[in-house]
Amino acid sequence: MDIRENIKSLAQKFAPEFVAVRRHLHQNPELSFQEHNTSRYIKERLQAIGIKDIVVVAETGLLATIQGERKGEAVLLRADMDALPILEKNKVPYASKNDGIMHACGHDAHSASLLLCAKILWELKKEIKGSIKLLFQPGEEVVPGGASLVMKEKAYLDLGCLPHLGQHVQPNLPVGVVGFRSGKFMASMDELFLTVKGKGGHGAMPERLVDPVLIASHIIVAAQQLVSRMASPQTPSVLSFGKVIADGAINVVPFEVHIEGTFRTFDTLWRKEALQRLEKLVTSIAEGMGGSCELKINHGYPYLDNDTDLTRDMKSAANEYLGSKNVVDLEPWMAAEDFAYYSQKNPSCFYLIGVGNEQKGIRSGLHTPTFDIDEDALGIGGGLMAWLAVKNLGHG
């Protein structure tokens, strides 16, 4: 039996064990940079496999090593661990036990898949040349991103430049299907916080007021010019405002309005220019209407750039493992991922694995309170990642 068939056989054999692991993680979610119990549990699982070379990174992250019997190159496999501040609405036995916290982005599945991958590779370590680095990363969901902190750690810096592989669940793809895209794949992301100030008072006497609600409304509408009239049509851009707080009443105009949003694109120069234009635009509108506007920008992740050669090779390897009918090309995705930091410094391949299943009613999107996965994806994802790792090291 060749190594690919060995991996498939082991993935099938071990998958039920790691469905239980995923359910444990799903029931016990922890927010970004608070993954202390998650980290402890994952370390115990790694040690149970037999892996002893484990170091802590970024306080709650783990970097483990599987060393093959023969010398060779190295590859890094990454999973994230943190959950989201969302109240779960799924009625399943493994629903979150932590009120208001949920694995609504599949990081429980990412970690469980990488643990399954680790067990498969540990079983095959006598056949492996080179080493596999297993990175369980904290804090993907919040700026500055756990990746940016991991990259400052000595244990990570000592690795030098090496290929990085990562996978992310995607409910829009059916279980059994994976997707790849070379080049710019996921967008940069910046967080926007606007404070619009005016002069509040009684809603029946607008002539005595400087209405920050009206100013904020003009700002929200006018700011869309950044995308519709200032950005090149060839440069994908998204500007969205998701939170507006005008804490008045039916007859009370507040003194301040708070707006929060995000700006995303794939072009570094346009990203800088757009944020400068946005600041000038919102300031001038507010001043022109008698108020003021302060814009605070939290600069987030860069765009994610999949290495062309590596992604081509990994897609070809996925074809060998899953069959070409189950491997698809992806369009650019305006979501953001802190895996992008790794991709700016190392040859990287970040791909999507299908977890949707209409027949099972699993269709909810990421970051929703009813998000779930078809757990058949765990065996597929763990086995595929093991196969991609050994292919990267020159096997098969």
Residues 62 and 180 in one domain: yes
pLDDT tens string 298-337:
999 999 999 999 999 999 999 999 999 999 999 999 999 9
d(CA 80, CA 135): 8
Residues 115 and 222 in one domain: no
Give the amino acid at 165. Answer: L
Token output for 37: 């119990």
Determine the average pLDDT of the residues in 291-303.
98
d(CA 339, CA 362): 26
Determine the average pLDDT of the residues in 273-294.
98
CA 391 to mean position of chain CA atoms = 25
Residues 277 and 376 in one domain: no
Determine the average pLDDT of the residues in 146-167.
98
CA-based end-to-end distance of the chain: 12
Number of separate domains in the chain: 2
Q: Three-state DSSP class for 91?
A: coil
Residues 253 and 308 in one domain: no
Residues 294 and 257 in one domain: yes
Active site residues: 82, 140
Question: For the domain that residue 229 is a member of, what is the CATH number?
Answer: 3.30.70.360
Domain ranges, residue 31: 3-185+303-392
Of the pLDDT bands very low, low, confident and very high (cuts 50, 70, 90), residue 396 is: low
Question: Could you tell me if 291 and 302 are in contact, meaning their C-beta atoms sit under 8 angstroms apart?
Answer: no
Residues 107 and 227 in one domain: no
Answer with the one of 299, 321, 350 that is the final residue of a domain: 299
Determine the average pLDDT of the residues in 121-150.
97
Question: Could you tell me if 138 and 81 are in contact, meaning their C-beta atoms sit under 8 angstroms apart?
Answer: yes
Whether the pLDDT of residue 70 is over 90: the answer is no
Token output for 100: 């208001």
Residues 153 and 196 in one domain: no
Residues 141 and 16 in one domain: yes
Token output for 172: 């829009």
Whether the pLDDT of residue 294 is over 70: the answer is yes
Determine the average pLDDT of the residues in 16-21.
98
Determine the average pLDDT of the residues in 112-135.
97
| pTM recorded for the entire structure | 0.95
Residues 179 and 40 in one domain: yes
Question: For the domain that residue 158 is a member of, what is the CATH number?
Answer: 3.40.630.10
d(CA 205, CA 196): 20
pLDDT tens string 330-362:
999 999 999 999 999 999 999 999 999 999 999
Determine the average pLDDT of the residues in 154-179.
98
The burial class, CB within 10 Å (0-12 / 13-18 / 19+), for 129 is middle
Question: Could you tell me if 241 and 220 are in contact, meaning their C-beta atoms sit under 8 angstroms apart?
Answer: yes
Residues 26 and 166 in one domain: yes
Average per-residue pLDDT for the chain? 97
Residues 193 and 267 in one domain: yes
Question: Could you tell me if 75 and 132 are in contact, meaning their C-beta atoms sit under 8 angstroms apart?
Answer: yes
Residues 290 and 384 in one domain: no
Whether the pLDDT of residue 1 is over 80: the answer is no
Whether the pLDDT of residue 9 is over 70: the answer is yes
Of the pLDDT bands very low, low, confident and very high (cuts 50, 70, 90), residue 395 is: confident
Answer with the one of 299, 322, 351 that is the final residue of a domain: 299
